[in-house]
Amino acid sequence: MTRIKICGLVRKQDIDAVNIAMPDYVGFVFAKSKRQVDEGRAKLLKACLNPSIKAVGVFVNEDIRTIIKLCCSDVIDVIQLHGDEDDVYIRKLKSSVPNRIIKAIRVKDQDDIKKAMHLSCDYLLLDAYHEGQYGGTGRSFDWSVIENVSKPFFLAGGINCSNIAQAIEMHKPFCIDVSSGVETDGYKDPRKIIDIVARVRQT
């Protein structure tokens, strides 16, 4: 069964909504973003989160020591690397903490996915490539390039209630990653969160 991650939570209301909807993962963005949270805010949000939902920390070229600290203090359960981190970086992280690692790949074509297959991460996250941006644009890429992906992957970028069933049925990702697709006027919308999680469970 495909899982779902609701990314970019910043408010207590967001946590209340996911505790009702019960996605598999939520994302706290520590990288520079309009959805950025610091350690203190993430700690408060995690304390209110249903323990069965895993908290993913999203980082862009972060100091490894910062990530290790957040893992060891149980602020995050899973690590998502969304920058230029290479396999040396990933291996160093894996030797330091037991937390699973997601490596985001900004996909221009099928070669980008093929090159990422050798990485030591536990999961890939396939997102749209946009010049000068590391992700979080809310735009999708050409899903037809997703073929023969042997590593479990998260599918991100422009996914919402109108195309989520197609994404799951056509490409069978390990997990769907949604952020702006469950927002209204730039804020997480509880009704959209509950609706999209229900759609994933039904597909």
Rounded to an integer, what distance in angstroms lies between the CA atom of residue 95 and that of residue 161? 38
- Strand pairing partners for 79? 57, 101
Return phi, psi of residue 14, to 5°.
-65, -40
CB 123 within 8 Å of CB 154? yes
- The Cα angle at residue 46 between residues 78 and 202, in degrees rounded to 5: 70
Say yes or no to pLDDT of 157 above 90: no
- Strand pairing partners for 27? 7, 56
**pLDDT at residue 129, rounded to an integer:** 59
> What are the structure tokens assigned to 9, written together?
């939570």
The whole-model pTM stands at 0.93
Rounded to an integer, what distance in angstroms lies between the CA atom of residue 181 and that of residue 7? 10
143 confidence band (pLDDT: 50, 70, 90): confident
Catalytic residues: 7, 127
Query: pLDDT for 84-115, tens place per residue?
Result: 999 999 999 999 999 999 999 988 888 888 99
149 confidence band (pLDDT: 50, 70, 90): confident
Query: pLDDT for 165-195, tens place per residue?
Result: 989 998 999 999 999 999 999 999 999 999 9
Query: pLDDT for 30-84, tens place per residue?
Result: 999 999 999 999 999 999 999 999 999 999 999 999 999 999 999 999 999 999 9
**pLDDT at residue 137, rounded to an integer:** 55
Q: What's 131's DSSP letter? A: T
Say yes or no to pLDDT of 131 above 60: no
